[in-house]
Structure 1
Amino acid sequence: MPCIRHFRQNMRPKTSQALNSKVILGVFFACLLLFVLRSSLSSSPEEAASSPSTLRTFAPAKTSSPIEESKDCSPSCNKIPRALAQALIHYATLSITLQQTLKEISVTAKILEKKSPCNFLVFGLGHDSLMWSSLNYGGRTVFLEEDEAWIEQIRRRFPMLESYHVTYDSKVNQADNLMDVGKGPKCTAIADPKHSMCQLASKGLPSKVYEMKWDLIMVDAPIGYYEDAPGRMTAIYIAGMMARNKGKGVTDVFVHDVNRVVEEKFSMAFLCEGYMKKQEGRL
């Protein structure tokens, strides 16, 4: 099931990217619409009552005759939810080429297909955020972003998205030192990152982010393509700690741009050793 991801500053359109975003997104949302309608039509009344999936709530109500059903198409008809309709229109008309490839996005989409509605935390906010939120329809999707001006710009376009401003006190040029710090006892102990004494455990996230048990976490921010950028060292470390502190169940963690040295090294050190399930392109 296809999907697409955001860019900002370093995540600007890449002219070398061969995929046509309109075609990909059109196919993706067509598949999403078919999935929604198929789920609705195939649900029995008993399943609709017992299933936690929000998609089930759009199963058609019984009518006394076909004529009665055709007279009034609301609210019993199988209408696509307004939020999904808005996402379909937005991506079908989008003229921007987004960052993640179809194959990269499909990895996350398959997990969301199994787990949604669920709790999904995304480090990063951008043009793909509406898509991630739509894929997790009925669940809670939270976006963390370091650029306040960018947050306001996205909020004006998509006020329904839940996003928060966060700050990072590290820089890419400190990555080697932070890797050494991360090997110390304060960082290797499995602890709640909110109360951890590890330098990598940033305390700048909203309290609700620490309190939530996340089913999926995607690290696609902050920016990390130049020496003075904040880098993703802290985000990767915190994602690992949140996953280990979840308790029951499994947390799937996705890191983008692992073609870069910092993302690759920190992912292997704090996430992947013994746990990596799949790598696709830069994801």
Structure 2
Amino acid sequence: MKNTITNVNTKLILLHPYIQKQGNPNRLWLVALVSVFAVASLLTLVYTRESFHTTNTTTTTRITATITHNEQTLPKSVMRALVHYAANTNSTNHMSQTDIKQISDVLKQCTSPCNFLVFGLTPETLLWNALNHYGRTVFIDENRYYAAYMEEKYPEIEVYDVQYTTKIRELKELVTSVREQSHNECGPVQNLLFSDCKIGLNDLPNQLYDINWDVILVDGPRGYWPDGPGSISAIFTASVLARSKKGGNHKTHVFVHNYNREMDKVSSEEFLCKENLVKSSKDLLAHFVVERVTDENGRHQFCRNNSTTSS
């Protein structure tokens, strides 16, 4: 049997191990992806920091501009008051510039937000509210309709109405009745909310009796005729509120406008006391500084030099 040998040309290809490693496509793609991601993250971080810096700078600039603008702009209440007062400077009912300055100077002396109580709605109402812009200013008036009108027209003011039961022609009888009851109902130190004193105002909002008033102005109620209420109730109430303060500074500045009128002067001397009179301006504005006093027996009294009104 004859063997037939077929030659087959076979090529043998030998691969070096190093070449096999270099040829791994998966690892190459992984390295490429990681590199791209790293570059993208770096660019994003740089852009974000730049953007934040720009935004922050812009915001700071806007805030600074706003603060500067606010510092240069008067509050609306001040602007309205000044415009109102300037438009009515020819009114005969206006308080004089000298008298206004006296009250304004005292308001400036308040070491904390000032509590300012005003009896009477007058041409100076908006001015008082504006001058005590950072404090609390409360107005009391006998005309409920005018009080409601002012509150609606000028929402920034706080005003309440009250009913007065006194009459100017009864001045002597009223003073006598207080002297007779100064040891109980008409005492100089008390909570008027629970008082039956005839000339004390006990129908104000309850919260007003708990406030330590720093400044009180009596410029009302209106009335120049014998049956008009006069100011005796307002002055008596102011004197009691001043002496009934709790804690802190026990002194209260009390101003009485139209001090030249008989009822205003008599009531002031009786309840605010001559000894507390600091200054009077042409007998129109009287300035008292009132505080709690006692006699030798420790009893509260209105005036040190008037034993008839001690309690």
Kindly indicate whether residue 167 of structure 2 is the aligned counterpart of residue 166 of structure 1. Answer: no
Shift of 1:70: 9.3
* Other-structure match for 1:54: none
* Other-structure match for 2:145: 149
Between structures 1 and 2, the one with greater strand share: 2
Kindly indicate whether residue 86 of structure 2 is the aligned counterpart of residue 92 of structure 1. Answer: yes
**Cα gap change, 1:231 to 1:69, in 2 (>3 Å):** same
Shift of 1:96: 4.8
TM-score by length of 1: 0.71
Query: How big is each residue's C-alpha offset from its partner over 1:128-174, in whole Å with a ceiling of 9 and x where there is no partner?
Result: 11100111011100000111221133234312110001111111111
* Other-structure match for 2:102: 107
Query: Any unmatched runs of 5+ in structure 1?
Result: 1-63
Identity %: 33
* Other-structure match for 2:226: 227
Query: Any unmatched runs of 5+ in structure 2?
Result: 1-56, 286-311
TM-score by length of 2: 0.65
Distance in 1 (CA, whole Å) between partners of 2:89 and 2:234 is 30
Query: How big is each residue's C-alpha offset from its partner over 1:116-138, in whole Å with a ceiling of 9 and x where there is no partner?
Result: 63100000113211100111011
* Contact preservation (8 Å) 1:213, 1:246: yes
> What amino acid sits opposite 1:272 in the alignment?
C
SS at the partner of 1:92? helix
Structure showing greater relative contact order (alpha-carbon pairs closer than 8 Å, 6 or more residues apart): 1
Query: Which is worse superposed, 100-109 or 134-143?
Result: 100-109
> What amino acid sits opposite 2:95 in the alignment?
Q
Kindly indicate whether residue 121 of structure 2 is the aligned counterpart of residue 121 of structure 1. Answer: no
Distance in 1 (CA, whole Å) between partners of 2:133 and 2:232 is 30
Pairs aligned (count): 219
Distance in 2 (CA, whole Å) between partners of 1:153 and 1:189 is 34
TM alignment of 1:164-203, pairs within 5 A: 164-184=160-180, 185-186=183-184, 187-203=186-202
Shift of 1:69: 5.9
Distance in 2 (CA, whole Å) between partners of 1:151 and 1:222 is 12
Distance in 2 (CA, whole Å) between partners of 1:194 and 1:213 is 15
SS at the partner of 1:194? helix
> What amino acid sits opposite 1:178 in the alignment?
L
Distance in 2 (CA, whole Å) between partners of 1:208 and 1:110 is 27
* Contact preservation (8 Å) 1:126, 1:154: no
Distance in 2 (CA, whole Å) between partners of 1:224 and 1:84 is 29
* Other-structure match for 1:133: 129
* Contact preservation (8 Å) 2:142, 2:161: yes
* Contact preservation (8 Å) 1:124, 1:143: yes
* Contact preservation (8 Å) 2:116, 2:215: yes
Shift of 1:208: 1.7
TM alignment of 1:33-44, pairs within 5 A: none
Computing the radius of gyration over CA atoms, which structure comes out larger, 1 or 2?
2
Distance in 1 (CA, whole Å) between partners of 2:258 and 2:179 is 23
Distance in 2 (CA, whole Å) between partners of 1:227 and 1:252 is 29
